[in-house]
Structure 1
Amino acid sequence: MMLAMAAFAVEDMLIKAAAGSVSTGFVLALFGLGGTLVFSLLCFRQRESLLHPALLSTPILIRAVCEVVGRLFFVLAITLSSLSSASTILQATPLVVVLGAALLFNEQVGLRRWLAIVLGFVGVLLVIRPGLGSFEPASILAVIGMVGFAGRDLATRAAPSELSNRQLGVYGFFILIPTGVGLHLYNGQPVLLDSATAGLIGAAVVCGVVAYNALTIAMRTGEVSVVAPFRYTRLIFALILAALFFAERPDVATLAGGLIIVLSGGYTLIYNRKLAAGSVKPI
């Protein structure tokens, strides 16, 4: 899980760096193309069909829409705002997943977890600070991206079991190709791709595939309630990379908001673990 989070953080850093030279849509399209090719090869190796009948099932279609929303708006967030603040807001994803599970799947969420969810959203407000002079409008993009990723995770839970993670990887990356092309055409920017930028995008694809596979292994071979809290190491890696490569220095409010989000989300995950083990009663 920690390897996955480190790779995701490096992927974000590489995409932000590449977007400084070419359009965000072009970066997104190339990133989607690279991921699609890699996961397609993995499917061919396992003799899995790319055009599975379940491809047109409702959960997969919803997952594709959420993937587009999550990827598109988060990439826009990290290119138009600071990597540290966007990554901090992203840490609220597990809380939104818990909220969505309660509303969509009728999962029981007690008072303690509701309070943790509310506290986590307070942390998000501390980071974006709406209505204040330090408010950064691009932070809203990170919030929308975070909601998109949460929707993707919820849709994945409802996805047909006969689809492998490799097939889901193909569908998830493929949908980014037309999304990126459409965004690029809408902006009307010329394509000026040099070898350095191509290298950054290629490295981002490698990191994305490594992260996806490491995350899958962690979630399938480890106890979910044990490994899930290590998702928050992504914030540590992101803050380090933002400081080293973009000279970002998050202010006290951003750090405080991030701490509140991590503590509330971590508490929720740990409480879920104890609840599943029967050591606590739903409250």
Structure 2
Amino acid sequence: MENLKGSLWMMLSMLGFAVEDMFVKLAAAAVPPGQILMLFGAGGMLGFWLMAASKGEKVLISEAISRTLLVRALFEITGRLFFILALAFTTLSSTSAILQATPLAVTLGAAVLFKERVGLARWVAIFIGFAGVLLVIQPTPASFELTSLLALIGMLGFAGRDLATRAAPPALSNAQLGVYGFAVLVPTGAGYAAFSSGFVWPDGFSWFAIASATLIGIGAYYSLTLAMRTGEVSVVTPFRYARLLFALVFGLLVFNESPNATMLAGSAIIVASGCFILLHGRHTARRQRKQAALIE
């Protein structure tokens, strides 16, 4: 029952993130990406600040000043900025497909930075997954668009943020990390807007889209937290890939996107590789526990 609850929370979370992406892309039709990032960051910071306050958690604490959180902030900025740029200038479906490679990049980074053991099978799955990314980007002279690299850089930024989060001081809660992560987006977005396309006063629908993206994004993050704390992580986590399915549906219905067969094949390879890594890791952990029990 706990696994079922966790899986449903994960599905709800991924639906929320897909709706958030849809609203950001809709807002980007009239509002510069930098300004969206600034407003999104301000709303997210306020939301997580209220969440922390409701739990009696202080936001300004000494543990927030560390090299790890500085690195996390830089990756957060990279991930968010380039992901919003990708949503603004490329299709929702391709951007979401590339984002699904984040677990592959995190696994690769954990092996390199944290010396986590990654067997041959998972190394093969990682490289096959990145081959799927190439199929989505389609780096051939006839079909390649430079803007496709925006989503790739954003994905790498999110992977770096996740790795830095893992190394963050244990004293910091998810809400506190949320405040810091969104706070750095405000000056970043303002600076990018000032030196690129400038600022505009959003119309009514743009305000609605940005506010909806912010509120739904906070709710999706909260649902994700519940999902990861309910049931087995190895059972719940594969449902992250539902985000791609929702993105494909929204891309078709809202933006009239029609992904070609190559992109769909690449998406399937990315998802399959990620699921294999998760399930293989679960199997390996179970086998190690049995061996430890026999030794005892």
TM, length-normalised to structure 2: 0.92
Find the counterpart in structure 2 of residue 255 from structure 1: 264
Q: CA deviation at 1:234?
A: 0.4
Find the counterpart in structure 1 of residue 3 from structure 2: none
Asked if 2 retains the 8 angstrom alpha-carbon contact of 1:127 and 1:254, the reply is yes
Q: Deviations over 1:233-274 (max 9, x none)?
A: 000000000101000000000000000000011100111111
Higher mean Cα deviation, 253-262 or 45-54?
A: 45-54
Q: Work out the CA distance in 1 between the residues paired with 2:29 and 2:168.
A: 36
Q: Which runs of 5+ in 1 are unaligned?
A: none
Find the counterpart in structure 1 of residue 132 from structure 2: 123
Q: Work out the CA distance in 2 between the residues paired with 1:242 and 1:150.
A: 24
Q: CA deviation at 1:280?
A: 10
Find the counterpart in structure 1 of residue 26 from structure 2: 17
Match of 1:42 among 34, 47, 51: 51
Is residue 62 of structure 2 the alignment partner of residue 53 of structure 1? yes
Asked if 2 retains the 8 angstrom alpha-carbon contact of 1:84 and 1:248, the reply is yes
Q: Work out the CA distance in 2 between the residues paired with 1:198 and 1:218.
A: 30
Match of 1:4 among 10, 13, 16: 13
Find the counterpart in structure 2 of residue 85 from structure 1: 94
Q: Work out the CA distance in 1 between the residues paired with 2:117 and 2:98.
A: 25
Q: CA deviation at 1:132?
A: 2.7
Q: CA deviation at 1:279?
A: 7.3
- Root-mean-square deviation (Å): 1.3
Asked if 1 retains the 8 angstrom alpha-carbon contact of 2:136 and 2:263, the reply is yes
Q: Which runs of 5+ in 2 are unaligned?
A: 1-9, 291-296
Give the % identical residues.
55
Letter in 2 for 1:145: G
Is residue 12 of structure 2 the alignment partner of residue 26 of structure 1? no
Higher mean Cα deviation, 257-266 or 44-53?
A: 44-53
Q: Work out the CA distance in 2 between the residues paired with 1:22 and 1:2.
A: 30
* 1:166-245 map, 5 Å: 166-245=175-254
TM, length-normalised to structure 1: 0.97
Q: Deviations over 1:178-207 (max 9, x none)?
A: 111011101143412111110110000111
Find the counterpart in structure 2 of residue 70 from structure 1: 79
Asked if 1 retains the 8 angstrom alpha-carbon contact of 2:102 and 2:156, the reply is yes
Find the counterpart in structure 1 of residue 280 from structure 2: 271
Q: CA deviation at 1:22?
A: 1.0
Is residue 142 of structure 2 the alignment partner of residue 133 of structure 1? yes
Q: Work out the CA distance in 2 between the residues paired with 1:171 and 1:206.
A: 17
Asked if 2 retains the 8 angstrom alpha-carbon contact of 1:82 and 1:248, the reply is yes
Q: Work out the CA distance in 2 between the residues paired with 1:244 and 1:104.
A: 41
Letter in 2 for 1:275: T
Secondary structure of 1:109's aligned partner: coil
Secondary structure of 1:169's aligned partner: helix
Q: Deviations over 1:211-248 (max 9, x none)?
A: 11111111123321111111100000000001010000
Runs of 4+ in 1 over 4 A off after TM superposition: none
Q: Work out the CA distance in 1 between the residues paired with 2:231 and 2:159.
A: 21
* 1:146-157 map, 5 Å: 146-157=155-166
Asked if 2 retains the 8 angstrom alpha-carbon contact of 1:7 and 1:207, the reply is yes
Asked if 2 retains the 8 angstrom alpha-carbon contact of 1:274 and 1:280, the reply is no
Q: Work out the CA distance in 2 between the residues paired with 1:210 and 1:188.
A: 30
Q: Deviations over 1:80-122 (max 9, x none)?
A: 0111111101110000000000000000001100000010011
Letter in 1 for 2:194: L
Give the count of matched residue pairs: 281
Find the counterpart in structure 2 of residue 99 from structure 1: 108
